[in-house]
Amino acid sequence: MTWHGLSGRPYWLVPLAASVLRPILLHRIPHKSSPRALQCQYLRAAFRLVETPAGASLRDALLQGVVAHLLEAGAYTRPLFSST
């Protein structure tokens, strides 16, 4: 048996500091050409993370990253209020 358990696979360290996790979270957003299901799954998990008390400091950064991602992906947006 090795120090990292029975499976023989090393465990990855999970970054907990917001300053470490923020760039990882934002740079790992799937590319706009990735399957929609993959993008949705990633974003759901990311939003779940930032909804926790420990992830609260990442909320603004994630929201900014998601908006930038949607704009880059060419998401259709329309004004909330019409001027007509």
Give the mean pLDDT per block of 10 residues along the chain (84 residues): 49 63 87 86 90 88 88 64 58
**Domain coordinates of the chain in residue numbers?**
35-72
- Single pTM value for the model: 0.63
Around Cβ 76, how many Cβ atoms within 10 Å?
5
Q: What is the pLDDT of residue 1?
A: 42
Contact predicate 4/11, CB 8 Å: yes
